[in-house]
């Protein structure tokens, strides 16, 4: 590719279009659709978890109250991110990467990382479970956006435009696989490939990643009994309904029995214990069961609006870093939503990925809403004050250098006159 695709699709030089729907200067439709997803998630979370929560913990609202607290914390984080000029992440990219890698290393250490359902993916922070993999997604997108925007036309080079990105993302994926977290690993590789593609990386390099990923995926699956079982359950859930295919087969039964309008809010049978983890990875099941096909279509529509607004923000960004950052974050949300809904409907093997803003998960909703705050900040299309300040400092330094030279020349001239 002779030039990057995103730059070709954006404005002509000198144009600074505003993204519509911006009463207060940021993208209001994006904020509205995200808040609708969060609100829907809280309603469906209560419907999915109230019976089990009452049986196991003696209180219907336990999971709902915990998720609501984290959603409020996420909204606070979003407001903070909205006030931070996104260009500052250029300065922080390597510290963010360093902290993320350190957290992923800590998770892998026995006795520090918290084990749940056979996976070591959490850290215990003042009594709350924290999942560094969610931070890794944001860190990877920030790094890719920074590196790609810095390299520009050199993205077609193997050693400059391809290898460094593969090395950093590969390191993150390697640490994630120690947990193991196959789903997030696939997500990071997918977003990296999308960003490399739109930035002008050669298709032959992307094909190389695809083939290498396929080989690595084969060995990762064949070398792990539980991943092999998940593939078997995906290929024929009904033959394994009593064991490894139980969750997906019960999910398909619940969805298939719902019809167009569903059983009605609160009337689903899956939450009685038929579908495990219904409030988490399989929250799409109860949405389909209680709200029907129309409910799922509504959720898909909300994510399509999010995709549209996010890409509009990317195309309207005033610099390449903001453009790639918005594109990467939007792609992250869209790809995860697609993978989650495909798992719920039996179109992909179970991967343990949440539905963004909807599923139960504290770290997921906090980091997700903070990322939305970054998107909203990019949508403001404000001038690059940081860049202007830097240029102003450089100009002052240059002026001081010239003044120093001028004084030296005048001093030498005076000395010559005296002699």
Tens of pLDDT along 322-369? 999 999 999 999 999 999 999 888 888 877 788 999 998 889 999 999
Q: Which neighbouring-strand residues pair with 122?
A: 114
Q: Of 150, 149, 138, which is closest to residue 99 (Cα–Cα)?
A: 138
Q: What angle do CA 209, 214, 219 make, to 5 degrees?
A: 125
The domain containing residue 180 runs over which residues? Answer: 5-383
Give me the pLDDT at residue 4, please: 52
CB of 141 closer than 8 Å to CB of 320: no
Give the per-residue SS3 of the chain: CCCCHHHHHCCCCCCCCCCCCCCCCCCHHHHHHHHHHHHHHHHHHHHHHHHHHHHHHCCCCHHHHHHHHHHHHHHHHHHHHHHCCCCHHHHHHHHHHHHHHHHHHHHHCECCEEEECCEEEEEEECCEEECHHHHHHHHHHHHHHHHHHHHHHHHHCHHHHHHHHHHHHHHHHHHHHCCCCHHHHHHHHHHHHHHHHHCCCCHHHHHHHHHHHHHHHHHHHHCCHHHHHHHHHHHCHHHHCCCCCHHHHHHHHHHHCCCCCCCCCCCCCHHHCCCCCCCCCCHHHHHHHHHHHHHHHHHHHHHHHHHHHHHHHHHHCCCHHHHHHHHHHHHHHHHHHHHHHHHHCCCCCCCCCCCCCCCCCHHHHHHHHHHHHHHHHHHCCCCCHHHHHHHHHHHHHHHHHHHHHHHHHHHHHHHHHHC
Residue 411 lies in a domain: no
Burial of 177 (0-12, 13-18, 19+ CB in 10 A): middle
- Give the angle subtended at the CA of 180 by the CAs of 40 and 147, to the nearest 5°: 80
- Residue 103 domain-assigned? yes
pLDDT of residue 415: 63
Whether 24 maps to a domain, the answer reads yes
Residue carrying the six token digits 């993916």: 121
Quote the CA–CA distance of 355 and 41 in Å, as a whole number.
Answer: 9
Token pair of 13 as six digits: 């030089």
Q: Is residue 23 part of a domain?
A: yes
13 phi/psi in degrees, rounded to 5: -60, 130
At residue 40, the pLDDT reads 95
Q: Say if 304 falls within a structural domain.
A: yes
Find where tokens 């993150």 sit: 172
Could you tell me how far CA 247 lies from the centroid of its own chain? 26
d(CA 353, CA 361): 10
Positions of the chain with pLDDT under 50: 1-3, 8-24
Domain assignment present for residue 399? The answer is: no
Q: Do 52 and 71 contact (CB within 8 A), yes or no?
A: no
Q: What are the phi and psi torsion angles at 113 (to 5°)?
A: -70, 135
Count of alpha carbons within 13 angstroms of residue 14, beta-carbon side = 0
Count CB atoms within 10 A of the CB of residue 28: 17
Confidence (pLDDT) at 221: 73
- Single out the residue of 368, 355, 330, 353 nearest to residue 44, CA to CA: 355
Round the CA-based radius of gyration of the chain to a whole number and report it: 25
The pLDDT value recorded for residue 387 is: 57
**Residue 149 located in a structural domain:** yes
Q: How many residues does the chain have?
A: 419
The total number of structural domains in the chain stands at: 1
Within a domain: residue 391?
A: no
Token pair recorded at residue 127:
């009594």
pTM (predicted TM-score): 0.84
Q: Compute the distance between CA of residue 113 and CA of residue 178 in angstroms, rounded to an integer.
A: 11
Mean pLDDT of the chain: 82
């Amino acid at each position: 590719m002779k030039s990057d695709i995103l730059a070709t699709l954006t404005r002509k030089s000198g144009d600074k279009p505003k993204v519509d729907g911006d009463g207060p200067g940021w993208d209001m439709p994006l904020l509205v659709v995200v808040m609708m997803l969060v609100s829907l998630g809280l309603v469906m979370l209560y419907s999915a978890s109230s019976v089990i929560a009452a049986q196991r913990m003696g209180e219907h609202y336990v999971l709902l109250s915990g998720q609501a607290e984290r959603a409020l914390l996420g909204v606070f984080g979003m407001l903070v991110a909205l006030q931070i000029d996104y260009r500052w992440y250029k300065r922080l990219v390597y510290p963010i990467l360093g902290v993320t890698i350190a957290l992923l290393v800590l998770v892998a250490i026995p006795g520090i990382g918290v084990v749940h359902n056979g996976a070591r993916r959490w850290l215990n922070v003042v009594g709350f479970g924290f999942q560094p993999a969610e931070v890794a997604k944001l860190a990877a997108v920030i790094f890719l956006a920074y590196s790609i925007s810095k390299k520009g036309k050199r993205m077609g080079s193997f050693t400059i435009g391809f290898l460094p990105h593969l090395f950093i993302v590969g390191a993150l994926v390697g640490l994630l696989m120690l947990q193991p977290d196959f789903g997030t690993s696939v997500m990071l590789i997918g977003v990296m490939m999308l960003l490399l593609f739109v930035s002008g990386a050669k298709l032959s390099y992307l094909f190389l990643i695809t083939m290498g990923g396929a080989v690595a995926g084969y060995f990762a699956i064949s070398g792990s009994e539980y991943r092999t079982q998940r593939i078997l359950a995906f290929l024929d859930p009904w033959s394994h309904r009593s064991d490894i295919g139980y969750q997906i087969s019960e999910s398909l039964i619940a969805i298939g029995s719902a019809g167009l309008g569903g059983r009605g809010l609160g009337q689903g049978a899956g939450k009685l214990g038929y579908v495990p983890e219904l409030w988490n990875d399989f929250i799409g099941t109860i949405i389909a069961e209680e709200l029907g096909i129309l409910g799922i279509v509504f959720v898909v529509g909300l994510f399509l609006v999010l995709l549209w607004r996010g890409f509009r923000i990317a195309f309207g960004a005033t610099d390449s870093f903001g453009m790639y950052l918005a594109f990467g974050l939007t792609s992250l949300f869209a790809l995860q939503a697609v993978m989650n809904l495909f798992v719920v409907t039996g179109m992909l093997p179970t991967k343990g990925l949440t539905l963004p803003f909807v599923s139960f998960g504290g770290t997921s909703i906090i980091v997700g809403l903070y990322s939305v705050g970054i998107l909203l900040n990019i949508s403001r299309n404000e001038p690059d004050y940081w860049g202007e300040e830097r240029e102003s400092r450089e100009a002052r330094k240059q002026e001081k250098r010239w003044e120093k030279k001028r004084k030296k020349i005048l001093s030498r001239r005076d000395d010559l006159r005296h002699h």
